[in-house]
Structure 1
Amino acid sequence: MINPIWLDTFITLVETGNFTRTAEQRFMTQPGVSQHLKKLEEACQCELVVRLGKGIQLTEQGQRVYHYAKEQQASEQRFIASLKFDAAYEGKCVVACSGAIAQRIYPALLTLQKQHRALHIHVEVAPRRTILTGIANNTLELGIVTNMPNNEDVQSEYLGEESLGLILPRDLADKAAALESSSKESTEKVERERELRALKPQESIKEVVSTLGLINHPDAMHYLQRYFNDCGEAELATLNPAKLKHVGYINQLSQILLPVSEGLGYTVLPTSTLDFVSFADKLTVYKAKNEVTEPLYSVQTPHSALPARYEVVKSAISKILGSEYI
């Protein structure tokens, strides 16, 4: 095994390019630096540098030894960092969640990181199935999902509730009036009247949903089924989300509501999403008989304690999502 002290001296020598500066930085004498280099060359059984006065030039073998030494140094640093399980405010902490949840929790997590600069928080936006797979495969340590997972490979804990809303263009009535006054030719009038019937607010919500069209997104089918089942509207409960007309698709949360604001369709999202768009005045949430919510759970690998920093992060998240963390 190569002495790591020799390797550290060699790294400094390569990066300073000078025996005198190496000795100063390592708190050694110049003969001591030369002795470390000689022993390293003997261990490697090859010449590592060519001396140029007080400077050096690396041989090909010297370049390889330098890269090896840097890799060993980085590996040691990662290993030491991995042992800090009980450092509540140090280390990397990865949280996987939906885009809507990320919008709600990220400001609070940034505040926490500003207070504790050695705490490095990473928020990974991912769909529910990807989060659960990551936890089960032990590639993720902490996730937040809707609904309690029925999976022995995942341990869950209740955090709070998320309100879902059927989000429509606010200007439905204005569109209807514009269509009604702009007809000129009989064939065009027929088409406008069809669209008009779909947009008139006095028509049933089932007709609006069926005709206006869905702005689809990765969680839309799940949200729609939940909403139709729980909103208390009998006519919506009979709809099959998979058979509804789709008029667009986007997987960027910040953009999903844009086509809705332009009157191109409707969608179902957590109502908190409206707090993060600049065009919320162009949107409206349908007032159903019942409020529709989804329970939120933190998920992690069962039978293994998370590092202390994750408990701090979970506590901050729980306060945002509305439950008392235990």
Structure 2
Amino acid sequence: MMNPIWLKTFCTLAEVRHFTRTAERLYMTQSGVSQHIQKLEEQLSTRLVVRDGRQITLTDAGVRLQARGKVLLAELDELATFVADDPPYRGSVALMSPGSVGLKLYPALLDLQQQHDALVIAHTFAPNDDIERAIRHAQVDIGLMTRHAQVADVTTEQIGREQLLLVTPGEIEDISWAALQQLGFIGHPDGVYHAQQLLGANFPQFEHPDLLPLRGYSNQIGLILAPVARGIGFTVLPAFAVEAFAAPSQIRVHPLDNAVFEPLYLALPRGKPLARRIQTVLELIRSAI
């Protein structure tokens, strides 16, 4: 393989036709220029220049090498620029988060894309295990989780917390354990865990969500409160999901004696340098949360 440093020295010499001026342009010694030309000629087994003191004349091989060499050097410069190009507002960023925090972030992410149309953000809602797996296998750039990472090659940092809320139909003014049993539970993918955390901390009668009558189930974060709003049952959800519900007058959030918060962790691949576009999205996430 041809040494690109020797090639650059030769092309500079072929342009200025003078050893001393070549050395000055390249911040080299004249002997260094001579060594590069000699090594290149030895590698190619071809004479490239005819020396006349400190000036030179190109051989036919030298003329051909100069023409092709200029193109190759330009391509190498373009390649270096391409590889080093790290714009903060251009390129794609893949993000995965739980549904509730996703509802909070997505409008802000859309605002960012409207401001910078060369930035492409792919946002997927997923449970913790899927998010951790995607970060580990470099399928996404950023993850948000509600627990610490359980594998060594994913690092997590707590960046906030989200309150769990007890939500009933809007006409329910006073809440009691008997009222919850009568209403029944609207389940969702994290429903059992959320109910255990919040109901267990506030109702001594609570044993397990499975002992509550199940009135419905939805795995779509934006639809979980729809049956609650229609009076079909109650549920427990993180605050961001409740805030995003389109008909807040049809539901009621009940303050409880013991508030329960779910931590929010930023999940990233351990030890991997982050592109500036990823840092841009991270700054947005931190400010939004």
1:85–1:307: 8 Å Cα contact kept in structure 2? no
* Shift, 1:115, TM fit: 2.1
Report the identity percentage: 30
Task: Quote the residue 2:270 is aligned against.
Answer: 302
Structure 1 residue 80: Cα displacement: 10
Q: Which residue of 2 aligns with 1:222?
A: 193
Deviations for 1:260-294, whole angstroms, at most 9, x for unmatched residues? 01111111111232332232111111221022211
Q: Show the counterpart of 1:248.
A: 216
Give secondary structure in 1 for the equivalent of 2:117: coil
User: What residue is the counterpart of 1:145 in the other structure?
Assistant: 145
Paired with 1:113 and 1:83, the residues of 2 have a C-alpha distance of 24
Displacement of 1:83 in angstroms is 4.3
- What is the distance in 1 between the residues matched to 2:246 and 2:172? 19
What 5-or-longer segments of structure 2 have no aligned partner? 1-78
> Aligned equivalents of 1:209 and 1:169: distance in 2?
11
Mark the CA change 1:222 to 1:278 in structure 2 (over 3 Å): closer, same or farther.
same
- Separation in 2, partners of 1:172, 1:261: 11
From 204, 210, 220, the counterpart of 1:235: 204
- Is 1:265 aligned with 2:236? no
Q: 1:29-108, aligned counterparts within 5 Å?
A: 83=83, 86-108=86-108
Q: Does 1:124 align with 2:124?
A: yes
Q: Distance in 1 between matches of 2:181 and 2:249?
A: 24
Q: Which amino acid aligns with 1:307?
A: A
Distance 1:243 1:134, change over 3 A: farther
Shift of 1:311: 1.1
Please name the residue that 2:114 is paired with: 114
Unmatched tracts of structure 1, length 5 or more: 1-78, 174-200, 322-326
Task: Give the TM-score normalised by structure 1.
Answer: 0.59
Q: Which residue of 2 aligns with 1:213?
A: 184
CA contact (8 A) 1:164 1:268 kept: yes
CA 1:312–1:240 in 2, change beyond 3 Å: closer, same or farther? same
Structure with the bigger percentage of helix: 1
Counterpart of 1:310, as a letter, is I
| Structure with larger Rg | 2
Q: What TM-score do you get using the length of structure 2 for normalisation? A: 0.67
**Residues 152 and 216 of structure 1, relative CA distance in 2, 3 Å threshold:** same
Runs of 4+ residues deviating >3 angstroms: 79-85
Shift of 1:99: 1.9
Aligned to 1:288: 256
Conserved? CA contact 1:84–1:91, under 8 Å: no
Question: Which shifted more, 153-162 or 267-276?
Answer: 267-276
- Residue type of the partner of 1:254? G
CA RMSD of aligned residues (A): 2.4
314 and 82 in structure 1: CA distance in 2 versus 1, 3 angstrom threshold: farther
Q: Distance in 2 between matches of 1:80 and 1:214?
A: 59
